[in-house]
Every structure is written in structure tokens, then in C-alpha cells.
Amino acid sequence: DVKVTQSSRYLVKRTGEKVFLECVQDMDHENMFWYRQDPGLGLRLIYFSYDVKMKEKGDIPEGYSVSREKKERFSLILESASTNQTSMYLCASSPTLDPYNEQFFGPGTRLTVL
């Protein structure tokens, strides 16, 4: 069973704080993704990574950065959190770059920025 875990289910931070969201997958997948999910909108891709130390911008990378130092771990960093980054953050992984692969999601981190 593929397992994708995220470090926190709920997080409350203050404006201007640096925030780290961690994601770990245990199935040796090459691809990892960070999305945000907001009411009334589809999942929006922030960044993805297809290999260690490799990263690509998604649709809404502004205000975010990522780090992938190990294959199983993909971190999302909010350098200076703002209230408009209050959202549900979902991490996902897939076996290869093939877009036809299903993605395996973590349970999400609900981030509130005050």
C-alpha cells in the first residue's frame, strides 16, 4: 500500500512567519507534487519534482519554494506567510513522469495564517 504522509494535519501561523510543510512517500516514487485546494476551485499545482534536487514550477508558485534532498521527501516552504496562503495543502506522488499514472495523495495540511 502506497503511503504518503504529511507532517501536520492542522497548522496555525502568523503573517510573516516562515512555514515548512513536509511530505514523505514510502514507495520509491519519482514524482512528487504540492497542490493547494480551496473551496470552489480545482486543485492548483504549486510545484512538482521529478527527481532528487529537481523541481518545476506549477501554476501558482509565487510565494512558495520547495526542496527535495531525498527521493522520499518533498518539502514546501512559505518564506513569509500571508493570509492569502490560508488553504488546504495536499502532497501527492506518482511512480514516474508518465502523466497517465494515478497520483497518490497525502491527507493534507490545513494551514491558517493569521
Partner 1 sequence: GQNIDQPTEMTATEGAIVQINCTYQTSGFNGLFWYQQHAGEAPTFLSYNVLDGLEEKGRFSSFLSRSKGYSYLLLKELQMKDSASYLCAVIDSNYQLIWGAGTKLIIKP
Comparing CA positions, the residue from 88, 92, 67 lying closest to residue 77 is: 67
Report yes or no: 74 and 66 within 8 Å, Cβ to Cβ: yes
For residue 4, state whether it binds partner 1 (rule: CB under 8 A): yes
Residue 100 binds partner 1, judged by CB under 8 A: yes
Cell triple for residue 33? 507534487
Q: Minimum distance between the CB of residue 40 and partner 1, rounded to whole angstroms?
A: 6
> Closest approach of Cβ 43 to partner 1, in Å?
4
- Considering the rule CB under 8 A, would residue 42 count as an interface residue with partner 1? yes
Measured at the alpha carbon of residue 75, what is the angle toward residues 70 and 77, in degrees to the nearest 5?
145
CB of 67 to partner 1, least distance (A): 22
Under rule CB under 8 A, residue 41 binds partner 1: yes
